[in-house]
Amino acid sequence: SLLKKGYDHEDVHYNLGNSYYRLNQIGKAILHYEKSIKINPQHQDAAYNLKIANLKVASKITPIADFIFIKWWKSLSSIFLFNTWANISIAWVWLALCGLATYLFVKSISIKKLGFYSAILCLFFALLSYILGYSNKSNIQSSDYAIVLINTYNAKSEPTEKGKELFALKEGMKVKQLDIVGKWVQISLSDGNKGWVEQSILAYI
């Protein structure tokens, strides 16, 4: 009822996840833990309970490892939320302006050089902070991921009932949407497998 009233808060989803977990509805539990973390990536209780819930997913897959730079970038961008990154970026801009003022108004050559290079460095960090914040916001607002809510479903090779069965999906598995054709959705798993499923079996994070 809180969600229907527009109160889309991280703790509402966290508590819903706990309730569904106790009811052994693992798919819905994982869905709401994911929603809680989507709103607040620093929600440690939701992240911990998500790990516990994922242990109950019947089918285990081995994800393709990210390149070290991509993994590092994702970890770095998730340290703060977008608003915090924006404030950090603004702080670096102010420091850059102070450096520029030093360059323009101080007569000492050595201090002018220090002010100039400090301004350049601060602008670089301001831009980096903004990009990290934008990356964090994009990840949070992405609606491409969904959770499987039914016990078992066989992904198809094409968006029809006649498609060849490729692999089995289990309740609670997380998938990424690639394409939509009518009631069919092309999805991919973290191990790289792709297939078509009916949209009705999914709930979007």
| E strands, the chain, in order | 145-148, 152-156, 165-170, 174-181, 184-188, 194-198, 202-204
* The predicted structure's pLDDT at residue 65: 62
Residues 6+ apart with CB under 8 A from 63: 190, 191
Vertex 169, ends 164 and 171: CA angle to 5°?
150
| 39: enclosing H helix or E strand | helix 26-39
* The predicted structure's pLDDT at residue 67: 72
Positions in the chain short of pLDDT 50: none
* The predicted structure's pLDDT at residue 163: 93
